[in-house]
Structure formats: C-alpha cells, structure tokens
Structure 1
C-alpha cells in the first residue's frame, strides 16, 4: 500500500487536473527524464506509515495522517485564496506541514539509521571491553525485558562478530516513526518562533516549483553555504524555504517579523534553484515554464533545461 511522505493535498497545488486525476510534471534525476504522473504515484513509499503494535490497526497512523491532511487541504486552499498568513489556524497547519516535510521522508530515515548504527556500535564496543562487562550488560537487558531469557550469545561469539563486522543494527518502522514524532515535537515550537516572509509570484510567471523534499534549510549568509558547517533548525542566521504553491512560498527566519513581498521573476528563479538542489530524486511543477537560477547574477534557465542540467543530475 502506497503511503505518501509528501501529502497529496499539497502536491495537488502544483498539479493540473485531468478528469478526476491531478497530474504533475516530474523531473527525475535517477531516470534522467521528465514525464507526467498522477500525484497518487509520486513522493510515496509502500507502507511508509505502517506500525506493528499489539491490538492496534497497522494502518492507524496512516488514518490519522489522512485526518490531518483533510484539515491541511482546506487550510492550503484558504491560504492560496487569501494570499497571506493572517489566519493563525491555517498558518499552524502550514508550519506542521513544514515540520513533517523536514523530518518524515526516506532520506531522513536512512540518516537516522546511520546515526543509530554508529551509536549502537559504540555501545556494543563498550559492553565488549571484558567478559564481566558483557555478562553484566546481558543480565541487565534481560531484567529490563530488552532481551529474552533464553538469549545465549556468548562473549566470544559477540566479540568475533563485532571484530569482523558480521552484524547489523536495525530499527523497525515503529522505532523510526516514534523518533520522527519525538523530533517533530521539538521542531514545531522552533518553527513558530521564526518570522515568516511570504513571497507572492508575479502574475504570468512560471511560478514556484516543489520536490519530493520541499523543506530547504540554508545559511542566511551565502558565503557560509559552501562551508563545512551544516545549518541546524535551532541555529540563528538560518533560513527555511518552503514553496506553498506555484503562486506562494515562504521563508522563515529568527528575529524577523511576518512580512509579505510581491516577488519579481528573478527572486522566484533564485528560490526555485533550492528544489533541484534539495530534492532526493524528483522535482514537481505544473509544467516546464518555470525558471531557476543559483544566483541573481546567473542567467535564468527554464524547466526544459532542468533534466539536462548536470548540477541537477549529480546526486546531492
């Protein structure tokens, strides 16, 4: 069963309706081609929200996400009609969407697995310092129910497996989803502390585009963007860029107010460059008419050029 990590109601903002279907133009860096596709079939993964808990429906989280997305869909419609963020409830829906986009996607899950694997190996190494340390840790884990009573891997067997790298540390979907929502609980207040600058694309322009990872965090100072220090969600001097629809996008920053700007085509083009740069694999747009540019000094390129752009085809 396909579960969307980018909500369909959001993707529909960038789609054209064809009968009962909503189609987007997809620019795929792995396949190195562009094509039309139904939003039902993009930015999704089989059983992404599936949980396994005794007595609970495995699709309970997917159902809960669907309820949230029903409210989100209405909020996005109102935001696009009003062309402002004055409705606090609608803004709260938008900020929750931004938080979800930042934390709940396949690439982030792989990053979390990598971090847990590294920490887990350090933890195992500490427990293997001696036979006594290992035996004590096993006894403690059994007492806490973390290991079954019949666990019988010896110190020598574990030591040999560790030295040869012949083991894996894995997180199941339950653990990953739990971590994601714990991080979301910490992230939402940080998003509300930022001021949000609403950008409105000029009428008749190609507009803003989006991707399978529409959350883009960057240093406010362009000179720091190619440096060794990665920006963090709680760090001062950072900007969050997020496209809402082809006509609207937001930039969030600390120590600024909530403002609105009628952006020029040059500004829209520079904003659009973040989506190919930050996408895991795919960029989405209603058509090929959009423009993008890394800097204001660069001649804008059109959507027709994206799929042959070596900067896009290079995996970030």
Structure 2
C-alpha cells in the first residue's frame, strides 16, 4: 500500500458542500483572483498540496498524521450535514465542527509561508549581530568548537560576504510547521468554544454562500473604530470581532461574544451578498462555488448577481463609479470611503 501524497489542507468532504456530483466525481467552480480566471474542476484538485501533512517520525508511516486528521475531518463533515439538515448546532456535532474550524484557521500554505518569513527575518537579524564584528563571530565559532569538537571551515570574511549577498533562503522544516499548528489549534478551539453561534440558512433559490481557501474569517464588527493598519489582523480573542464560517452553500455560522446560543436565522439576499463579499475580501485569492453566477456585494457595496466577481475584485472601479458612490454616500473624498469599509 502506497502512502497518500496529495494532502488537502481544506478537506474534500467540506468542499463538496459547495459543488455538485458528476458520476463518481465531485465538481466545483473555482474563481482564481490571482490568475484572474474561473474554471470547473474536481475537488481533488482544489486546496491540496503534495505532502502537506507528511511527518517523518520514528517508525510511523509518513502519512499517518494525514490519516489521523482525515478521521476528524470526515466526522466533522458528517456533523456539518446533520446540522444543516436539523438546524441544530449543539452537542457532539458542534464539537466536531468547532474542531474543524480551528484546524482550518491555523493550517494553510499561506500561513506557513508567513511563519517562514518571520523566522527568516529573525535568523537574518541574528546573523547581522553575529557578523557585526569579527570578535563576535570568532567567539561564536569557539563556542561551537567546544560543543561539537569541530572547527568552522568558513572564515569570518567568507561568512560575512555570503550573508551580505543574500543569495540564500531560510527554510522551516514541515514538521516544525505542523507542531506549531497543532499547538495553535488547541488555543483557537478554546476561543471558538466561548462564542455564541448563530446558524443562517438559505431557504430559496435566490443565491448561495461561497467558500474560499481561507474559510474561517475573523473580522472587526466596527472596523471604523480600529486604526487602519490593524483592521486586517484581528485575533480570535478580541471582543469587537465576529467569525464567519460557511458550512455549505446553503448554511453559514457566525460566532459572536454576545447573543443567544445556537439560534437559527434565515439568510436573505443582502445578507448573502455581504457574507460573500467578506469571504472574498479575506481570502487567499481563491473562491469556490457551485455556479459561475454568484450573489455578492462588490467593493462599492452594490449587490450583484452575476459571473463577474473576478473582474469586480481585481479591476479598480471607474471614475464614474467612484463619483456615483461618493454622491450616494455623501463622501467628499474616496479615502474616506476606504476608511469606512
């Protein structure tokens, strides 16, 4: 039996809730804002990366962790279906779904790259300090020799020249990323469990929720009260925030710090439009739906129901559109509009 190598950081079972079945295959529509294209594909090809959860540890199979997480993901997908069918977000089903949300919140290629970049900056700064003076370098090499019994084969001048050229990339082991994610999962799960959750259900054929390659979104409730530079990086423990998580194309959860627990509300068109806008704005450049035509609010808050979301979110609005927006909102300068977003 061969190891599984195509690892989904967003489970196929979850993605199937936003698509349809064709024979043996489960299909979705992908809206790629980075490459500016929309296409139909199998869920096997979406939100997956080779060896993403591969973990080399003693005598275990390299894909054992992927297999174990797969069990949690499978049960969580079953819980989603039961919650959407019953309208009841409680008990064991709630626990499984919150576990899945915590996992999706901390696990993605983009977040791993952010972590790698941060650790690379720290390492580079440390090297700056070590190489600032020759005596610092020699002291470090002497300490290394005492611990390992080996002398450095690189001179101070060679090391400094190599560092100053910057012709290298600092990597972080995949196993280190996974260990960090597991630790973060527990913290995020505890915070998710403290929120009050409302389930929103689409009862007609007037639109549907989309999901993205960042399906757990945390946003400020009153962003205008938050400094501009901090608006796009709220933490899961902050009070003036709410969390959005589309369960399927017909259901979405919102977690707030206040309100009634486990309530169910209908989702009308404006609400679906706002949520789809939020999902797109907070995504890592990939939206997933069952139709090319999507219900959404565009960046100028106009409700749309079309197949133009790529164009709307990648092309700046025209001068005429901006003028109309300012006039309708009584805004003298478009910079004020961006601050009101």
Which stretch shows the higher mean deviation, 164-173 or 101-110? 164-173
Aligned partners of 2:60, 2:155: CA distance in 1, in Å? 36
Alpha carbons 1:306, 1:312 under 8 Å: kept: no
1:121 to 93, 118, 124: 124
Equivalences for residues 122-161 of structure 1 within 5 A: 122-138=125-141, 149=150, 152-161=153-162
1:68/1:141 CA distance change after superposition, 3 Å: farther
| 1:95 equivalent among 83, 98, 107 | 98
Does the 8 A contact of 1:291 with 1:302 survive in 2? Answer: yes
* Partner residue in 1 for 2:6: 2
CA shift at 1:43, angstroms?
0.9
Q: How many residues align?
A: 310
Aligned partner (choices 83, 91, 97) of residue 87 of structure 2: 83
Q: 1:282 aligns with which of 275, 281, 286?
A: 286
Match of 2:16 in 1: 12
Partner of 1:106 in structure 2? 109
Contact 2:298 2:312 in 1 (8 A): no
Q: Does 1:177 align with 2:181?
A: no
Q: Give the equivalent residue in structure 2 for 1:40.
A: 44
Structure 1 residue aligned with 2:253, among 227, 250, 256? 250
Q: Distance in 2 between matches of 1:139 and 1:67?
A: 50
The residue aligned with 2:240 is: 237
Where in structure 2 are the equivalents of 1:164-243 lying within 5 Å? 164-224=165-225, 227-229=228-230, 230-243=233-246
Compute the displacement of 1:83 (Å). 1.6
Determine whether 1:302 maps to 2:305: yes
Once the two structures are superposed, residues 83-132 of structure 1 have per-residue CA deviations (whole angstroms, 9 ceiling, x without a partner) of 2212x221121112212222111111111111111111222233334445
SS of residue paired to 2:40: strand
Cα deviation for residue 169 of structure 1 reads 1.9
Q: Is the 8 A contact 1:288 1:302 kept in 2?
A: no
Tell me, yes or no, if the aligned pair for 1:277 and 1:312 is still in contact at 8 Å. no
- Give the RMSD, CA atoms, in angstroms: 2.6
Unaligned 5+ runs, structure 2: 318-341
CA drift of 1:73 comes to: 2.2
Check conservation: 1:32, 1:313, Cα contact below 8 A. no
- The 1:142–1:212 alpha-carbon spacing in structure 2 relative to 1, beyond 3 Å, is farther
Map of 2:274 onto structure 1: 270
SS at match of 1:110: helix
Structure 1: runs of 5+ lacking an equivalent: none
Q: Does the 8 Å contact 1:6/1:44 carry over to 2?
A: yes
Say if 1:72 and 1:93, in contact at 8 Å, map to a contact too. Answer: yes
* Conservation of the 8 A alpha-carbon contact between 2:31 and 2:286: yes
What's the CA shift for 1:291? 0.6
Contact 2:87/2:264 (8 A) holds in 1? no
Structure 2 counterpart SS, 1:126: helix
Q: Distance in 2 between matches of 1:140 and 1:57?
A: 38
Deviation at 1:58, TM superposition (A): 1.4
Question: Is the 8 Å Cα contact of residues 6 and 43 (structure 1) preserved in structure 2?
Answer: yes
Q: 1:138 to 1:5 in 2, by over 3 A?
A: farther
Which structure would you say has the larger Rg?
2
TM-score under structure 2 length normalisation: 0.82
For residues 142 and 216 of structure 1, the distance between their equivalents in structure 2, rounded to whole angstroms, comes to 49
